[in-house]
Amino acid sequence: MPETSPRVGLFVTCLVDMFRPSIGFATVKLLEDAGCTVEVPELQTCCGQPAYNSGDQADARALALNVIEAFKGFDYVVVPSGSCGGMIVKHYPEFFEPGSTEHDEALDLARRTHEITSFLTRVMKVEKVEAQFPARATYHDSCSGLRELGIRNEPRKLLASVEGVSLREMTDAEVCCGFGGTFCVKYPGISDKMLEKKLRHIEATGADTLIAGDLGCLMNMAGKLKRQGSAIKVRHVAEVLAGDYETPPIAEAE
């Protein structure tokens, strides 16, 4: 753990900002509990992934430059999403010509940027969190966090330290839930078939709570679970680690 209190910029992500600020606040709590000073740069909007994945390089690049600008000077940038984290860490540097100032800055940002659970465990060397959360939970590995950032044990390790959480693994935890950003609205039938398989594996665990690290995947899975009338509660990993069981689960009012 760094000796002085690291200055962390929170990259909220556009989905958390608009749909579920409680994830952002849970993330802030986790960072502050770990001894960080947290700031939220006003300039940030979206990481640019929708543009990037739609083949719109110019806008993706413009948004990347905006994020680079917004997070200059922070010791670390922390994101409650493996997907936006992967975008910054893996893809931003590819936008710019090696040797250019922008490329250097993108690499610098990539080095400073971390997904929340991996930041806590890898950088801040957090072994456990002080939280309570009653849940028979199962954890879904979101694709980008898993395959772009190698996040697998980090959330599980921290979740195991939460008082009241018991984890049971689902079959194919590492298989995509069918979200895929604009994919799920462009090809809803395929997305639904993938989601159907995913929900079968979730339900087979007997868990009462589904946890993952990306709000996009969570909204996808929660949206269908609730459409089907399932009682399974859906939560972001940061909320559980922060012990925020008072905020209603995703897609629920109470």
Partner 1 sequence: MTEMSTTAFKDNVTRALADDKLQFAMTETGPRFIAKRTKAREALPEFDQLRDQARDIKDHVLDHLDIYLETYEAKVKEAGGHVHWAETPDEARAAVLEICRKANAKMVTKGKSMISEEIDLNKHLEENGITPVETDLGEYIIQLRNERPSHIIAPAVHLTRDQVEADFRRVHTHLDPKRDLTEIPALVEEARAVLRQKYLNADVGITGANFLIAETGTSIIVTNEGNGDLTQSLPKVHIVLASIEKLVPTLEDATTILRVLARSATGQDFSNYTTFSTGGRRPGDPDGPVEYHVILLDNGRTSVLGTEFQDMLRCIRCGACLNHCPVYNAVGGHAYGWVYPGPIGSVVTPALVGIENARHLPNASTFCGRCEEVCPMRIPIPKMLRHWREKEFERHLQPTSQRWGLGLWAFMAKRPRLYRKATAIAARVLSNQAVGKGRLKKVPLASGWTAFRDLPAPQGKTFHQLWKERRP
**Which member of 81, 117, 138, 144 binds partner 1 (CB under 8 A)?**
144
How far apart are the C-alpha atoms of 71 and 88, rounded to whole Å? 11
Q: Of residues 31-70, which lie at the interface with partner 1 (CB under 8 A)?
A: 40, 42-46, 48, 50-57, 59, 62-63, 66
Closest approach of partner 1 to the CB of residue 189, in Å? 5
Q: Which listed range, 101-109, 132-140, 175-183, 236-244, lies at the site for partner 1 (CB under 8 A)?
A: 175-183
Give yes or no for residue 16 binding partner 1 (CB under 8 A): yes
Closest approach of partner 1 to the CB of residue 27, in Å? 10
Number of Cβ within a 10 Å radius of residue 18: 11
Give yes or no for residue 120 binding partner 1 (CB under 8 A): no
DSSP secondary structure letters along 117-146 = HHIIIIIS-------EEEEEEEE---HHHH
Closest approach of partner 1 to the CB of residue 202, in Å? 14
Closest approach of partner 1 to the CB of residue 54, in Å? 5
135 close to 240: Cβ distance less than 8 angstroms: yes
The token pair that represents 54 in the structure block: 């739609």
Q: Which residue's CB is nearer to partner 1, number 50 or number 161?
A: 50
**Which member of 89, 106, 151, 219 binds partner 1 (CB under 8 A)?**
219
Give yes or no for residue 19 binding partner 1 (CB under 8 A): yes
Partner residues linked to 174 by β-bridges: none
Partner residues linked to 138 by β-bridges: 210
Task: Please return the burial class of 77, using the count of CB atoms within 10 Å of its CB with bins 0-12, 13-18 and 19+.
Answer: buried
Strand order in the sheet with 37-39: 37-39, 7-10, 76-79, 113-115
Q: Which residue's CB is nearer to partner 1, number 13 or number 138?
A: 13
122-125-129 Cα angle (round to 5): 110
**Which member of 2, 21, 150, 206 binds partner 1 (CB under 8 A)?**
21
Residue 14, Cα to own-chain centre: how many angstroms? 11
Q: Of residues 184-213, which lie at the interface with partner 1 (CB under 8 A)?
A: 184-195, 197
Q: Which residue's CB is nearer to partner 1, number 19 or number 166?
A: 19
Closest approach of partner 1 to the CB of residue 167, in Å? 22
Give yes or no for residue 95 binding partner 1 (CB under 8 A): no
